[in-house]
Amino acid sequence: MRRALGFSLFLMLLSLSACALFPHRDPLNITVVGIEPLPSQELEMRFAVKLRLQNPNETAIDYNGVALDLEVNGRTLASGVSDQTGSIPRFSEAVLSVPVSISAFSVLRQTLGLSQTQSLDNLPYVLKGKLAGGLFGTMRFVDRGTLDLPSTAATW
C-alpha cells in the first residue's frame, strides 16, 4: 500500500515537471492580406490566399505544412493545403501563400444560400487552419471578418 502511494506520488510529480518542459506559447496573429487568382480547371476556381503570420513569442516557430478551410456566410466555400516549410523568427512576421480551390458546386450553394435581401457586400467569413509543426508544435488558428466581394472581385 505504501509502495503504491509512493509510486502514485512519483508519477504525479513527474507529470507536473513534464509540463514545464513545454514552454507556453502565445497564439499566432494571423490575418488574410490578399487573394490572387491561380490557373483553374473547368469546374473549379483556384486562388492563392496570402496570410500574414505574426509571432509574438520569444522563440521561433518552425512549420512544415499548412491547411486552410474558408467558410463564407456559414457555409464551406474553399479549402487548401500546402507542404511549405519555414520558420517565423521570434517577435517577427512572415507572409505565407496557400493555394485554395473553390468548386462550382460550392459557389452554387453559396449563391442559393443568399437571401434576396442580402447583398455580396460584407459577407461574414471564418478562416480556420493549422500550421503543422510536429507532434506538439501544430498550431491551429481562426480568423474572422467580412468580405467586400465587389472590390475583391475587381482585383481578381
Residues 111-124 have pLDDT tens digits of 776 655 455 567 78
In tens, the pLDDT along 53-106 reads 999 999 898 899 999 998 887 888 899 999 999 999 999 999 999 999 988 877
Q: Please compute, for residue 130, the number of CA atoms within 13 A of its CA located in the half-sphere on the CB side.
A: 9
For the record, the C-alpha cell of 113 comes out as 444560400
Distance of alpha carbon 129 from alpha carbon 81, whole angstroms: 9
Q: Please compute, for residue 100, the number of CA atoms within 13 A of its CA located in the half-sphere on the CB side.
A: 26
Rounded to 10 degrees, the C-alpha dihedral 32/35/39/41 comes to 70
Which CATH superfamily hosts domain 24-155? Immunoglobulins (2.60.40.10)
In tens, the pLDDT along 17-29 reads 544 555 577 888 8
Distance of alpha carbon 86 from alpha carbon 88, whole angstroms: 7
Distance of alpha carbon 52 from alpha carbon 50, whole angstroms: 7
Rounded to 10 degrees, the C-alpha dihedral 58/19/143/71 comes to 150
Q: Which residue has the higher pLDDT, 125 or 119?
A: 125
Rounded to 10 degrees, the C-alpha dihedral 25/26/29/30 comes to 40
Is this prediction's pTM over 0.75? no
CA distances from 107 to 19, 26, 86, 116 (A): 46, 36, 33, 16
From 47, 102, 45, select the one nearest 75 (Cα to Cα): 102
Q: What are 140's strand-pairing partners?
A: 130
Q: Where are the alpha helices (DSSP H) in the chain?
A: 2-21, 104-113, 149-155
The full length of the chain comes to 156
